[in-house]
A = this chain, B = another copy of it.
Amino acid sequence: MHIVEILGTFSFAVSGTSVAMKKKLDIFGILIISFVTSIGGGTLRDIMLGNTPVAWLRDATTINVILASTIGTVLFGKFISKLNVSLFLFDNLGLGLFTFIGIQKGMDMHFSNGVCVAIGMLSGCFGGVIRDTLLNEIPLVFRKEIYASTCILGGAVYFLLHALKVDNQLSQMIGIAIIVLLRIIVVRFNLSLPNMYKSSN
């Protein structure tokens, strides 16, 4: 689970740095946005669960991974911008991984399945929500593409497999795969949730 967390942290740090650079922030602003994207969701989750002091304060690994990812992305930004596809994959992987870290934390506290999925979704999505809010944009997750919904579906399938006594680690990997693959399909085919609004203004 620790490698999972590092991979997710790295991926969200790169994604946060990219967004901050598009907004032309200075290096310090980029660093903060990178941190917020990486640890925002997990921090909000831990605060709501009462797991304080929040974990990354004690764990130098998280901070070092974010620092290294941010500096790397700033230095090799042009190179990485050509790697848009692999970035997209990492971001989705991060979403899947963090969702299941959150679900696991909810299960450790014996919450109901629905609440565990909500905590997972919060862990995966709210770093980005806080980032977009700080950057004065309506969070992407509210506006376009099926994003958070994939967390919910991945979580639901996991609990279904869990109820069917499928091996826990296998179920988690299937859940993560669903989130990653569904995101790829959604973006590839430009899908969105059914439009409820008959006419746009």
The reply to whether A142 and B49 contact each other, CB–CB distance below 8 Å, is: no
Q: Mark A140-167, 1 if CB is under 8 A from B, else 0.
A: 0111001111000000000000000000
Q: How many chain copies? A: 3
Query: Smallest Cβ distance from A35 to chain B, in angstroms?
Result: 8
Are B196 and A27 neighbours in the complex by a CB distance under 8 Å? yes
| A28 and B134 contacting across the interface, CB-CB below 8 Å | no
Residue from the list B23, B43, B60, B146 in contact with A48, Cβ < 8 A: B43
Count chain A residues whose beta carbon lies closer than 8 angstroms to a beta carbon of B: 52
Residue contact A149 to B114, C-beta cutoff 8 Å: no
CB distance from A20 to the nearest CB of B (A): 8
CB of A177 within 8 A of chain B?
no
Known: A28-B148, A114-B60. A52 touches B50 (CB 8 A): yes
Once the chains bind, are B134 and A129 in contact (CB under 8 Å)? Answer: yes
In Å, the complex CA distance between A26 and B146 comes to 9
Decide: B32 and A142 in contact? CB cutoff 8 A. Answer: yes
Q: Are A149 and B49 in touch, CB under 8 angstroms? A: no
Question: Is there contact, CB below 8 Å, between B52 and A48?
Answer: yes
A109 proximity list for chain B (CB < 8 A):
53
A-B contact pairs, 8 of them (CB 8 A): A24-B197, A26-B195, A29-B142, A29-B143, A32-B148, A48-B57, A49-B52, A134-B138
A147 to B25, CA, bound (A): 13
Task: Determine whether the beta carbon of B138 is less than 8 Å from that of A135.
Answer: yes
Measured CA separation A167–B95 after assembly (Å): 47
Is A33 interfacial (CB 8 A cutoff)? yes
Q: Is the CB of A136 within 8 A of B134?
A: no
With contacts A24-B200, A28-B148 taken as known, whether A137 is within 8 angstroms of B136 at the C-beta atoms is: yes
